[in-house]
Amino acid sequence: MLRLVNGMTNIKLEEGFLIKRVTNGWTVQMLSENDSNFILTYVYEDEGIGDFTICAASSLKNLIHECFESYMQSKRSPGLYLEVKKKGWCEEND
């Protein structure tokens, strides 16, 4: 789940964005396009109950897909392709 949390902070962000892991997901902070003194914070919450690694990886996948959308593979262009697997490499071969 993606949520937008608005607010002024003391974070000095020149350009780009800042990604952090928090208790229940990930946050992305970036400067507002309209006001360089205003920082937008997006929250990508871990979804589901169960394996922590799978939930955290899934929310990180969603974050990366949205933040780096122009670098993602699409029907007509090459790019990144992300997939969350429920088994490790050694377990897949068994």
Q: Is 28:17 a contact under the CB 8 Å cutoff?
A: yes
**Under DSSP, is residue 35 helix (H, G, I), strand (E, B) or coil?**
coil
Predicted pLDDT at 10 = 54
Q: Supply 67's token pair.
A: 């933040």
- For 46-86, how does the pLDDT look when each residue is reduced to its tens digit (9 = 90+)? 987 778 888 999 999 999 999 899 999 999 999 999 998 88
The residue extents of the domains of the chain are: 2-85
Q: What's the rounded Cα separation, in Å, for the pair 92 and 94?
A: 6
pLDDT band at 11 (very low <50, low <70, confident <90, very high): low
Whether the predicted pLDDT of 13 surpasses 70: no
- Side-chain half-sphere of 89: how many Cα atoms within 13 Å? 0
Other C-beta atoms within 10 Å of 92: how many? 9
- For 19-50, how does the pLDDT look when each residue is reduced to its tens digit (9 = 90+)? 999 999 999 998 888 887 788 899 999 987 77
Predicted pLDDT at 32 = 84
Q: What's the rounded Cα separation, in Å, for the pair 65 and 39?
A: 21
Annotate 60-84 with DSSP letters as a single string. HHHHHHHHTGGGB--SSS--B----
